[in-house]
Amino acid sequence: MSHDDRKPKDPENTRSRILDAALDVFSNKGYHDTKVDDIVEISSTSKGSIYFHFPNKQTIFLALVDKFAELLEKRIVEAIEQEQIGIARVRAALRACLDTFGKYRLLAKIMLVQAVGLGSIFEDKRLEVSERFVHLIKDYVDQAITVGDVPPVDTEIVARAWMGAIYEIVIRWVYTGEPTPERIMSTLLPMLLRSIGYDDEGLL
């Protein structure tokens, strides 16, 4: 079969169907037990179509991690653009982050659970995504300091600590269903904001 014969008629639609199917299969079977044939069956495509977009199972998995990261960043940016620079943007970013994890639990499971322990390539990707959001948090906290909403603080340390707290809480929720998103929002959000010197009874 030639390369041209394998090319799907609608590449973007086919790629999307493959990733949607892969999300379903990885979430249910886990990375190691998933076979490309499983993804072919669920996506109603062919092996040729899958290999046109993705050389192997590993690249499909990494594409799902990227998909979640891009979705999360898009939701955060959309949320902060509606707020003025300062603590309002920090609050909006945290809300959007937790809300997105809640709405896209299967994607969160792929990134937070299954990417752990799969080797250096997967770990490098997970760390790349983590760094992306550390810098995002740092930027918003820096802005809040600039406008005087919170006192000066080491924002890199803050951003990494916040990422750690969010990760720990959300990964447990992905595994067990507890604590609920409502409990996370009502407790974690004010705790993080108070950790940088901001305390507002009406912040929720």
157, burial (CB in 10 Å: exposed 0-12, middle 13-18, buried 19+): exposed
- From-to residues of CATH 1.10.357.10 in the chain: 65-204
Per residue of the chain (204 residues), what is the pLDDT tens digit? 444 444 546 678 889 899 989 988 887 888 888 899 999 999 988 999 999 999 999 999 889 888 888 888 899 899 988 998 888 888 888 888 878 877 777 777 777 777 777 788 888 888 888 898 899 899 989 999 999 999 999 999 999 999 999 888 888 887 788 888 778 878 888 899 999 998 765 444
| Extended strands (E) in the chain | none
- From-to residues of CATH 1.10.10.60 in the chain: 1-55
Tell the residue number behind the tokens 């998103």, with chain if given: 181
Question: Quick one: which of 9, 6, 41, 7 has its CA closest to 22?
Answer: 41
Q: Residues, the chain, total?
A: 204
Provide the CATH number for the domain formed by 65-204 in this structure. Answer: 1.10.357.10
What's domain 1-55's superfamily in CATH?
Homeodomain-like (1.10.10.60)
